[in-house]
């Protein structure tokens, strides 16, 4: 009897790259489908920002002309759109991180780590659902508010820029919350960060311009990075398309996303080292 030995040839770099892409796409599909199949997890992040926009428009409509320092807008609704978009993305992005923590708790995450899946594909694939949802939220808020008097000075270019910024912001927040999920392995810890995001929103310029604030509230709004994210989206709405608006709406979230992804990968490396 003769035995034929077969040798495993190492995969070339293009093959490895194709494998990484295929794994990331497969995990991304799972993440997106999990959001689609559990609408109860994502609907609140669509409803509550619209509620705050409606409440603010009915309560503060006169402030646009009566309060010194308030930017020139056609209506408070134009001013409120940016806050609604960022608020919805901040809240919605915690869903993917919570799902990641649940995967860790039920052991599915460990099975992924023991498989030949790429580490970056596991992280990016889980956050892909949040990115798609962030883009959808941005467009959804614009479409829903247009019949109620919203005017978007940035036009089509502004909408596309806001959609890109919303996608990248969802990646940044999702990666940051994923780092927490990986580090703690607890869905309760991730959900416990939700009130902190809510408080950070209120201590920003999401609902009122910084120029009209005073005291500690004004100081906190100026150092709060959420203020600058909101103002980028707001400039596209009330001032029109400009380079400075693109920087604040897209470039700043992109920098935050790179830092957050590095933190998530570091948390994953630490978790692997502790095993």
**pLDDT at residue 163 is higher than 90:** yes
Q: Is 10 within a domain?
A: no
CB atoms within 10 A of CB 72: 9
Q: Is 17 within a domain?
A: no
Q: What is the pLDDT of residue 275?
A: 59
What confidence tens digit (pLDDT) does each residue in 80-116 have?
899 999 988 888 877 777 777 887 888 877 777 776 6
Q: Is 8 within a domain?
A: no
**CA-CA-CA-CA dihedral for 245, 32, 49, 77, to nearest 10:** 40
What is the tally of structural domains in the chain?
1
pTM over 0.85? The answer is no
Q: What is the 3-state secondary structure (H, E, C) of 166-180?
A: HHHHHHHHHHHHHHH
What confidence tens digit (pLDDT) does each residue in 43-79 have?
888 888 888 888 888 888 787 777 787 888 888 888 8
Name the residue range of residue 116's domain.
22-273
The model's confidence at residue 3, banded by pLDDT at 50, 70 and 90, is: very low
Structure tokens at 186: 């607890």
Q: Is 26 within a domain?
A: yes
Q: Is 148 within a domain?
A: yes
Q: Is 156 within a domain?
A: yes
Q: Is 4 within a domain?
A: no
Q: Is 182 within a domain?
A: yes
């Amino acid at each position: 009897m003769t035995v034929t030995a077969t040798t495993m040839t190492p995969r070339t770099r293009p093959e490895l790259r194709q494998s990484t892409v295929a794994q990331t796409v497969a995990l991304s599909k799972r993440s997106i489908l999990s959001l689609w199949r559990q609408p109860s997890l994502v609907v609140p992040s669509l409803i509550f920002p619209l509620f705050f926009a409606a409440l603010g428009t009915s309560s503060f409509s006169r402030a646009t002309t009566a309060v010194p320092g308030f930017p020139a807008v056609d209506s408070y609704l134009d001013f409120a759109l940016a806050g609604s978009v960022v608020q919805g993305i901040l809240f919605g992005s915690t869903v993917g991180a919570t799902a990641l923590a649940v995967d860790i708790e039920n052991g599915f995450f460990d099975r992924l780590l023991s498989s030949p899946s790429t580490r970056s594909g596991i992280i990016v694939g889980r956050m892909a659902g949040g990115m798609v949802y962030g883009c959808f939220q941005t467009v959804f808020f614009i479409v829903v508010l247009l019949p109620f008097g919203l005017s978007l000075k940035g036009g089509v270019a502004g909408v596309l820029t806001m959609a890109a910024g919303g996608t990248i912001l969802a990646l940044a927040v999702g990666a940051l919350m994923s780092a927490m999920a990986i580090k703690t392995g607890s869905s309760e810890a991730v959900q416990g960060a939700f009130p902190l995001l809510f408080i950070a929103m209120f201590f920003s310029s999401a609902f009122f311009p910084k120029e009209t604030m005073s005291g500690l509230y004004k100081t906190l709004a100026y150092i709060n990075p959420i203020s600058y994210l909101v103002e980028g989206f707001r400039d596209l709405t009330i001032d029109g398309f400009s380079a400075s608006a693109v920087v604040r709406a897209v470039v700043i979230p992109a920098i935050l996303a790179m830092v957050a992804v590095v933190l998530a990968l570091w948390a994953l490396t630490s978790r692997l080292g502790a095993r």
